[in-house]
Amino acid sequence: MVRHCNNLSYRINGLVQVEYRASDTISLTAIETTHSNLLYPALHSQTFGKPLREPLVGVTALIDLKPVGLILCELDDSGTARIFCWNVLPQYRKKGVGHRLLSRLEQMFLANGIRMLSLSIRSDLASFQAVKAILIPQGWSCSEILRLYKVTKSSYRKPLWFDRVPLRNGYSLFPWHELRPTEKAQIVARQQVDNWFPSELNPFQEESTIEWSNSLGLRYQDEVIGWMITHRVAAGVTQYTVLFVAAEHRPRATGIALIAESVRRHLAAGGSRAIFQVRSDNQLFLRFVERRFNSILSSTAKRMQFNKEL
């Protein structure tokens, strides 16, 4: 836990005094109330749709006690501080406020033994180049971690291969809301023993926003061995969040059948926009997307990650 939160102040152009207040006891509810003009509109995209680990750590820049800049991060179990918001009001940009927010944060972490900082940002955002110009000269590394895709109703044309992926004997699809309590318990128990899926492919994450109309499970005989879980992340926008099939069943095109049926149900329910992402190190699935979905994608972007060891 960070325990080094004294305040500092600087002047802009020798006239306007800016105070920098650091804290390690920030709640998201409080910051949404007092700093709503500095939080990103689509905060879920920065947190990957997952709840933040509170309390948060951050620094606020104030002029006459009014917030004009903000940097916020959460700490994970490994001791890495992940920045998910770094913003300055337009009229105070290019005046050193953003630099000092970051510098103050680094000083606070150095004093408390936290050695790793990370920040991720989409490559198609207008602020990407500005962030890159600040971080790279200060020793941050940069790499691609995700490929992001968007499909709109106007860009969608059903791929011909959608009708060519029937499930083999013994396999069946079912609406995820029909998952039996005993099956959920079996999934959890197997995970505890075998760790059979990565944590980011947990089908039970963010259950309050699951899009039930096209979230599906996959059974082999009477055992759940896969799932496609989607979430409603904004009005009219469905995020295809989790696609997983147990390793021993993947060679049978079961994952493709899950995708096809989920998309069919999405369209039948009147869905208009969809987004999904693929890890950049998943080259096999990236090639599949580029080959099979290229004609229906409305836009593509990359999520870049900056890291710095203090």
Q: What is the pTM of this model?
A: 0.77
Q: Are strands 216-220 and 223-234 parallel, antiparallel or unpaired?
A: antiparallel
Quote the DSSP letter at residue 87: E
238 φ, ψ (degrees, to nearest 5): -105, 130
Neighbouring CB atoms inside 10 A of 133's CB total 9
Give yes or no for a contact between 249 and 168, defined as CB atoms under 8 angstroms apart.
no
pLDDT tens for 180-230 read 999 999 999 999 999 999 988 999 988 989 999 999 999 999 999 999 999
- The encoded tokens of residue 132 equal 């890159």
* Residues in CB range of 21: below 8 A, 6 or more apart: 5, 7, 59, 60, 62
Q: Are strands 80-88 and 116-122 parallel, antiparallel or unpaired?
A: parallel
pLDDT tens for 66-75 read 999 999 999 8
The pLDDT value given to residue 186: 97
Question: What is the rounded average pLDDT for all residues in the chain?
Answer: 87
User: Helix H segments across the chain?
Assistant: 28-34, 43-46, 97-110, 128-135, 181-194, 254-268, 283-292
Q: Which CATH superfamily is domain 154-271 in?
A: Gcn5-related N-acetyltransferase (GNAT) (3.40.630.30)
- Asked which of 43-52, 111-120, 126-135, 199-208 is least confident by mean pLDDT, the reply is 43-52
CATH number of 8-114: 3.40.630.30
Task: Answer with the residue of higher pLDDT: 219 or 236.
Answer: 219
Has residue 4 got a pLDDT over 50?
A: no
Has residue 9 got a pLDDT over 70?
A: no
CA-closest candidate to residue 215, choices 177, 181, 165: 177
Has residue 3 got a pLDDT over 60?
A: no
Neighbouring CB atoms inside 10 A of 8's CB total 14
* Strand partners for 26: 56
Tokens 């969809």 sit at which residue?
Answer: 274
Q: Give percent of the chain above pLDDT 70.
A: 91
Question: Residue 104 and residue 110: Cα distance in Å, rounded?
Answer: 10
Has residue 42 got a pLDDT over 90?
A: no
- The encoded tokens of residue 43 equal 């905060």
Query: Do 8-114 and 154-271 come out as alike in CATH topology?
Result: yes
Question: Residue 72 and residue 101: Cα distance in Å, rounded?
Answer: 10
Has residue 44 got a pLDDT over 70?
A: no
Domains of the chain, residue spans: 8-114, 154-271
Query: 3-state DSSP helix/strand/coil percent for the chain, to nearest 5?
Result: 35, 35, 30
The pLDDT value given to residue 291: 85
CA-closest candidate to residue 100, choices 213, 174, 7: 7
Query: Mean pLDDT throughout 25-30?
Result: 88
Has residue 40 got a pLDDT over 70?
A: yes
The pLDDT value given to residue 71: 95
Has residue 8 got a pLDDT over 60?
A: no
* Residues in CB range of 76: below 8 A, 6 or more apart: 53, 82
